Amino acid sequence: MLLALIAACEIGFWLVLGAGLSARYLLRRPRLGTVLLVCVPLLDVVLLTATVIDLRGGATANFTHGLSAAYLGYSVAFGRSMVRWADERFAHRFAGGPPPKGKPKYGSARVRYEWREFGKAALATAIGCGVLLTMIAVVDDPDRTRALLGWTARLGMVLAIWSIWPISHTFWPAKPKPGQEIIGSEAESAARR
């Protein structure tokens, strides 16, 4: 049941996001679009509430309870940038907006980008672990919440693996191949080197 709710929240995220952007750009109703986009985090509240109700109702924590906490952490940490990403593309495609910015490919701009994304992953891990530990404290039964404690280690492992990208770009920054054009902020960072 909880796994189905997680899937429904993910589908709901994209549906509400699409509805908000459609209202903003296709229907030319920016206020309605903003209201719909503000509703996106409500899906996280629904998921968290259902998870806590399930645990408080006597359920033994399992994989899906931990997954819901991890989903919540990543949704909160990356949600705003996902909305911005979709908004740029929707505005470009349907409202004559500027082309969306891609991630930087080279130099210090790429290093900053990778560390910023790692910071979001660290925030997601902190939120997920905080939710897990809160659920453990609320249930107050170590036998029923053992699986949740295991999820803190999983989230830590994901963060450790994620750290490979910013660290590798810091020590071995990507450089353009000979004859490849550097544009925008990438050209500025290359000129400073």
The string of pLDDT tens digits covering residues 111-161 is: 999 999 999 999 999 999 999 999 999 888 888 888 899 999 999 999 999
Q: Interior CA angle at 111 toward 110 and 115, to 5°?
A: 115
- Given a contact cutoff of 8 angstroms between Cβ atoms, the answer to whether 24 and 38 are in contact is no
Residues 149-164 pLDDT 10s:
999 999 999 999 999 9
pLDDT of residue 191: 45
Annotate 17-35 with DSSP letters as a single string: HHHHHIIIIIS--HHHHHH
Q: Which two tokens stand for residue 167?
A: 């660290």
pLDDT of residue 177: 80
Residue 190: is its pLDDT beyond 50?
no
Cα 24 from Cα 34, distance rounded (Å): 7
Residue written as token pair 């593309």:
89
Cα 78 from Cα 85, distance rounded (Å): 10
Nearest partner of 37 among 5, 82, 74, judged by Cα: 82
Mean pLDDT of 20-24: 94
Please, what's the b/e burial string for 22-56 (b: 16 or more CB within 10 A of its CB; e: otherwise)? bbbbeeeeeeebeebbeebeebbeebbebbbebbe
CA 73 to chain centroid, in Å, comes to 8
- Sorted by where each begins, the domain ranges of the chain are 2-174
Mean pLDDT of 18-23: 94
- Given a contact cutoff of 8 angstroms between Cβ atoms, the answer to whether 155 and 125 are in contact is yes
